[in-house]
Structures are given as C-alpha cells and as structure tokens.
Amino acid sequence: MKRMKCLLYVCLAALVGCGTKYSVGDYYEVEGVRGVVFSVTDGGRHGKILSLDETSLPWQTGRGINVVGAADQADGAANLEVIKSQPDWQERFPAFAWCVEQGEGWYLPAVNEMAEINANHEAVNAALVAAQATPLETQGVTFLYWSSTETGKYGASGGWLYSKGFEPSEEIKNYSQHVRAVRAF
C-alpha cells in the first residue's frame, strides 16, 4: 500500500508540473533549446527566453510593401502567423525568417515583449555575458531592435533598450535593424 501511495504521488507530481523552476536571468537549456529567461509565469515553470545571438535585417523587403496585419502588441507568435500567411514570406520578411530559422517555436517579439526584455535587460545581459553569448545593445540610437508589431504601410515598431525604459518608435520596414528571437517554454 505504501508503495502504491508513493507511485500515485510521483504520477500526481508529474501531472502538476514539479519540473525545473526558472527566474529572470537564468540560463535555459532543455532538449537542445538554449536561451536566457526574460519572463516567467506559473511560479517559474513557464515563461519566455531570448536567443543567445542576434543579427541585423530588414523587417520587410521588396516591392509591394504594404500593411499585412501583424498588429498584435503583446504576442509576437500571433504576428508571425500573420506573416506566414503572406506569399513568399521567407524572402519578403527576413527578420521573421531569421527568427524561425533558430528552430521550432522561435519568433520576433511583439513591442510589449520588447518592453519586457528591456525591463529585465540588466539580468538578461549578465546571463548572456556569462554564457559567452551576444549581449543586448543598450547604448543608444544606433542600436534599434525590431519588434514584430506593424504600425502602418511602411512602418513597424522598433525601439531602443535603455535603463530608463523601452522607447518604441515607428521605423521604415525595409531598413536593417537588430533582430533578436524569443521563444516560450
């Protein structure tokens, strides 16, 4: 009977989710997915991670730049689904394509997700440096990061990461800016 109770407890614990708990700034590596935690929910059992590297690419390229409807301010994954519905999206939306190339579940963060990254950028940068990864650029106007949030026909939200807070601005879609991928866990 005692053994059956223990087995029941182990099964119940697995269902409830007694797995690893993370905090902002923790290094995350599970089943080949690596990043730094910038957001946690459910007591640290779930959250979002930031990629260890970055690149510089345009949000959209080519002729026919137009409003595509990637306007969600809180969920970059939702914006990615809008982008994926566009013809030739991998060629026309290089920032999004680069994020997807990082692996399953990676996407370009929405503007509010960028604000959350900024709110925790000191802890995130310390973890990135400790992991010998590329730290976020927080030194001014030459280091603008794209978000996935579209603002109009020719514009999308980008922003600078500052200690005073994230400052979003409307940027021209076909200009190259910094790109960082995020992923939920």
pLDDT per residue of the chain (185 residues) written in tens, 0 to 9: 444 443 333 343 444 445 899 999 999 999 999 999 999 999 999 999 999 999 999 999 987 788 999 999 999 999 999 999 999 999 999 999 999 999 999 999 999 999 999 999 999 999 999 999 999 987 655 678 999 999 998 889 888 776 666 777 788 899 999 999 999 99
In angstroms, the CA 97 to CA 89 distance is: 8
Q: pLDDT value at position 166?
A: 72
> Is the separation of the CB atoms in 110 and 149 below 8 Å?
yes
For 97, the 3-state DSSP assignment is: helix
Q: pLDDT value at position 158?
A: 86
For 91, the 3-state DSSP assignment is: helix
Q: pLDDT value at position 64?
A: 73
Of the candidates 35, 18, 63, which has an alpha carbon nearest to the alpha carbon of residue 183? 35
